[in-house]
A and B are shown apart, each in its own frame.
Chain A
Amino acid sequence: MMKKTKKFLNNLYSLLFFLILVAIWEIFSRTGTVPNYILPAPTMIIYSLFTNFNFMGRHILITIYETLTGFIISVLLGIIIAVIMDGLPFVKKVIYPLLITSQTIPIITLAPLFIIWFGYGYLPKIIIVILICFFPISVSLLQGLGSVDIELINLLKSMGAGRYQIYKIVKLPASLPSLFSGLKIAATYSIMGATVGEWVGGKDGIGVYMLRAKYSFATDKVFGAIIIITVLSICLLKLIEFIEKKSMPWVFYEKIETMGE
Chain B
Amino acid sequence: MSNKVDALKIKKSFGSLDTIRDVTVSLEKNKFVSILGPSGCGKSTLFDIISGLEKPDSGDILINDINYTGKTGKVSYMHQKDLLLPWKTILDNTCIPLQIKGLKITQARDKANTYFNLFGLSGFENYYPNQLSGGMRQRAALLRTYLFSDDIMLLDEPFGGLDAITRRSMQLWLLKLLENFKSSILFITHSVDEAIFLSDSIYLFSKRPAFIKATFDIDIPRPRDYKTFTSARFNEIKEKIINLLQSE
Contacts and interface: CB of A to CB of B under 8 A. Distances in A.
Interface in B119-167: 120, 124, 127-133, 135-136, 148, 165-166
A250 B170 contact: no
A232 to B, nearest CB: 31
B71 to A, nearest CB: 9
A249 B129 CA distance: 12
Interface residues of B, number: 36
A170 B84 CA distance: 10
Would you call the interface of chain A mostly helix, strand, loop, or mixed? Answer: helix
Given A159-B96, A160-B72, A253 B131 contact: yes
B6 to A, nearest CB: 19
Given A157-B53, A158-B52, A152 B83 contact: yes
Given A158-B53, A173-B87, A176-B87, A258 B133 contact: yes
Nearest to B127: A256
Contacts of B99: 165, 169
Contacts of B96: 156, 159, 169
B58 interface: no
A172 B133 CA distance: 26
Interface in A247-261: 248-251, 253-256, 258, 260-261
Contacts of A155: 77, 79, 83
B83 A158 contact: no
- Say which size band chain A's interface belongs to: 20 to 34
Contacts, number: 79
Nearest to A249: B128
A161 B100 contact: yes
Contact of B100 (A156, A254, A260, A261): A156
A1 to B, nearest CB: 20
Interface string A19-62: 00000000000000000000000000000000000000000000
Nearest to B54: A154
Nearest to B173: A261
Interface in B84-130: 85-88, 96-97, 99-101, 120, 124, 127-130
Interface of A: 149, 151-152, 154-161, 165, 169-170, 173-174, 176, 248-251, 253-256, 258, 260-261
The list of the 6 closest CB pairs from A to B, nearest first, reads A160-B73, A261-B135, A250-B128, A173-B87, A258-B133, A158-B77
25 contacts: A149-B83, A154-B53, A155-B77, A156-B96, A156-B100, A157-B53, A157-B72, A158-B76, A159-B76, A159-B97, A160-B73, A169-B96, A173-B88, A174-B85, A250-B86, A250-B129, A250-B130, A253-B128, A254-B131, A256-B127, A256-B131, A258-B131, A258-B132, A258-B136, A261-B169
